[in-house]
Amino acid sequence: MAGQVIGVDVGASKVAVATLRAGALGRPTVEPTSTAGPEALMDEIAGAVAAVRTGDTEAVGVGIPAVLEFSTGRVKWSANARLEDVELRVLLEERLGVPVFVDNDANCAALAEAHDDAEPDVRDLVMLTVGTGIGGGLVLGGRVYRGHTGAAGELGHTLVGALLEHGAPAAGRFPQAGSLEALAAGRALDALAEAAARAEPGSALAARLAESGRVTGRDAVDAALAGDAAARRLVALVGERLGVGIANAINTFDPEVVAVGGGVSAAGELLLGPARDSARRFVVPGVGERTVIRVSRYGADAGVRGAALLARQEL
Amino acid sequence: MAGQVIGVDVGASKVAVATLRAGALGRPTVEPTSTAGPEALMDEIAGAVAAVRTGDTEAVGVGIPAVLEFSTGRVKWSANARLEDVELRVLLEERLGVPVFVDNDANCAALAEAHDDAEPDVRDLVMLTVGTGIGGGLVLGGRVYRGHTGAAGELGHTLVGALLEHGAPAAGRFPQAGSLEALAAGRALDALAEAAARAEPGSALAARLAESGRVTGRDAVDAALAGDAAARRLVALVGERLGVGIANAINTFDPEVVAVGGGVSAAGELLLGPARDSARRFVVPGVGERTVIRVSRYGADAGVRGAALLARQEL
């Protein structure tokens, strides 16, 4: 317990690395994610770890947006196709010479949200990371829940708006139409923002489109935070849809906390208010009576902090 | 470990009671559920327990289709409104003078499905009881998962076909339109059977309607098992919809087993085949690679066996 652990958060665009010692997270170092293949990415991770490593480093935890086999850290499915079938944990352990643990990034974020040195751990927590896609992480009974093969928690891919009668979705295409991710992630907000910009030429979003040639969900969040009514309606619509996923999570887990993180959660109560309202409508009476729905406590640092906590918990 | 435990399965229409000794379930006694209120129901349970009780009875487990507070057995929400706010566990313990444990009936069934003396326990199992409604039960990490207040596992009320844009559902009405229960439970099959009987005057279901003045999901299951093609299509449609809920359960839990019980599961592979096909389509690559989707091992006895196991596990 004397030493430090190191957390690594491998995102689609950035790799963040930070130390955790006696509950205090060091300032993360951040660099662009190498996209030149598994070897280059592992070199990058090893280099960033070496830069903050001390003699008393006990273990390294790595969070990555992928479906994994936990024991080997083998990537079974990832948006970054070049990582597939790579045994990240095994290979990084060989390079680093300390124990390495690799887990889904939303599982790591869930662990961070459930743990705070200043208060008792949250035993049952559902994490939704709403960024480009939607990741899910589960802490149940105080531990990360990974299921039978390590791949549990893919809440973004659960279907909330699917009706088979409306036509069968394309096999093997994810996110599926009707999934929570297809309806309520950053990509959905991108599409709503662009449609609104084209439909309302005098709007703030239209100005943004004219200025830069494109308009994104991030622009909608910024405009909503700046007070633009049209942008607020888009964020609220995504919040309402997210609320359906939150209701499903509450009906399923009756958790103590549902934490919402990821880039879209920067909208704060503009997103969470409508999400809470729609969630409450769909929750069965008697379920979730003490569930708190809140924005991620650690924001952008939840992933790297959780990766470090993973190393500490699994050691 | 020398004594016996007693399981009680309180259904909407029947109360089943059986002993469990050294892994062997006695033949259940079954009587109609008293509907004259909580006192009469508790009298009935106490009487049925007394009839099979021996001097070495260690505890009684009770399963009931309700949202419960586990510690007191208080009914928080139930289709049988007269039980609401009744502290079943506390009151039954006073009457019986042995430890009593009360849990949701689908949780009990899940426990039975996860446990077989002849083989290792299933650690991660999702139970769906498809009867008039759809109940959900979770065994995670080898234990019943109940969440923060004891009300987890309401999988029938998760939304799989909801789109808020299609109009807001009525507040406080369950099952909600678009929920798994509204789409794939016995009541949905009832409606499909009646519509088919009226649309196809020459069909087996139409004959049934002419004969008895009504046609139900049970008739559709019977006709499907007897080989009627139209009835098979209805069962398959419900199976496909159920498969969406199963896909969500797999994406969420990556379980070892999804067990399907309840009256509609009497259709066996006519239901499970289409359910498996649609589930596989919606499961994220890498998730659920070893998940088995099967019909309940204990059929109509799962609830009473699980209630007895609950008493054994909680003692």
On chain B, the residues whose CB falls within 8 A of the CB of A256 are 148
CA B71 to chain A, closest CA, distance in angstroms equals 14
Q: Is the pLDDT of residue B164 over 70?
A: no
Residues 6+ apart with CB under 8 A from B3: B21, B54, B56, B57, B58
Determine the Cα angle at B179 with ends A294 and A142, to 5°: 40
Q: Is the pLDDT of residue A171 over 70?
A: no
Least confident range from A269-278, A281-290, B167-176: namely: B167-176
* pLDDT band at A294; cut points 50, 70, 90: very high
Do B141 and B289 fall within a single domain? yes
A279-301 average pLDDT score? 93
A282-310 average pLDDT score? 94
B37-63 average pLDDT score? 95
Judged by CB atoms within 8 Å, which residues 66-85 of A form the interface with B?
67-68, 76-77
Give the whole-angstrom CA distance, residue A246 versus residue B71.
26
Closest residue of chain B to A153, computed from CA coordinates: B252
- What does the pLDDT look like over B126-157, one tens digit per residue? 999 999 899 999 999 999 999 999 999 999 99
Q: Tokens at residue B74, please?
A: 């208080």
Q: Tokens at residue A93, please?
A: 């352990």
Judged by CB atoms within 8 Å, which residues 230-289 of B form the interface with A?
240-241, 244, 247-248, 251-256, 278, 281-282, 284-289
Q: Is the pLDDT of residue A46 over 80?
A: yes
Contact B141 A145 (CB under 8 A): yes
Q: Is the pLDDT of residue B273 over 50?
A: yes
Q: What is the reported pTM?
A: 0.94
Do A70 and A155 fall within a single domain? no
Do A43 and A161 fall within a single domain? no
Residues 6+ apart with CB under 8 A from A294: A257, A258, A259, A260, A272
Q: Is the pLDDT of residue A170 over 60?
A: no
DSSP category for residue A102: E
In DSSP notation, chain B reads --SEEEEEEE-SSEEEEEEEETTEEPPPEEEEPP-S-HHHHHHHHHHHHHHH--TTEEEEEEEESEEEETTTTEEEEESSGGGTT-BHHHHHHHHHSS-EEEEEHHHHHHHHHH-BTTBPPPSSEEEEEESSSEEEEEEETTEE--TTTS----GGGSBSB--GGG-PPPTT-SSPTTBHHHHHSHHHHHHHHHHHHHH-TTSHHHHHHHHHS---HHHHHHHHHTT-HHHHHHHHHHHHHHHHHHHHHHHHH--SEEEEESGGGGGTHHHHHHHHHHHHHHSPTTSSTT-EEEE-SSGGGHHHHHHHHHHHHH-
* pLDDT band at B238; cut points 50, 70, 90: very high
Q: Tokens at residue B217, please?
A: 């999901």
The complex scores an ipTM of: 0.93
Candidates B177, B169, B176, B146; CA nearest to B67 is B146
Q: Is the pLDDT of residue B87 over 90?
A: yes
- What does the pLDDT look like over B246-270, one tens digit per residue? 999 999 999 999 999 999 999 999 9
Domain that holds residue A268: 119-296
Q: Residue B120, preceding bond cis, omega within 30 degrees?
A: no
Q: Is the pLDDT of residue B166 over 50?
A: no
B164 close to A (CB below 8 A): yes
Distance of CA A190 to the CA centre of its chain: 18
pLDDT at A13: 85
pLDDT at B247: 96
The answer to whether A147 touches A70, Cβ cutoff 8 Å, is no
Residue A127: CB atoms within 10 A of its CB come to 32
- What does the pLDDT look like over B4-30, one tens digit per residue? 999 999 988 899 999 999 989 999 999
Do B28 and B86 fall within a single domain? yes
In DSSP notation, A131-160 reads SSSEEEEEEETTEE--TTTS----GGGSBS
Q: Is the pLDDT of residue A57 over 50?
A: yes
Do A160 and A106 fall within a single domain? no
> Collapsing DSSP states into helix, strand and coil, what is residue A259?
strand
CA B269 to chain A, closest CA, distance in angstroms equals 20
Q: Structural domain tally of chain A?
A: 2
B221-228 average pLDDT score? 96
Do A92 and A169 fall within a single domain? no
Contact A287 B154 (CB under 8 A): yes
Do A123 and A112 fall within a single domain? no
B107 close to A (CB below 8 A): no
Do A78 and A129 fall within a single domain? no
Q: Which helix (H) or strand (E) holds A277?
A: helix A269-282
Do B132 and B100 fall within a single domain? no
CATH code of the domain containing B229 = 3.30.420.40
Do A236 and A306 fall within a single domain? no
- What does the pLDDT look like over B190-224, one tens digit per residue? 999 999 999 999 899 999 999 999 999 999 999 99
Do A250 and A143 fall within a single domain? yes
Candidates A234, A191, A236; CA nearest to A216 is A191
Do A135 and A155 fall within a single domain? yes
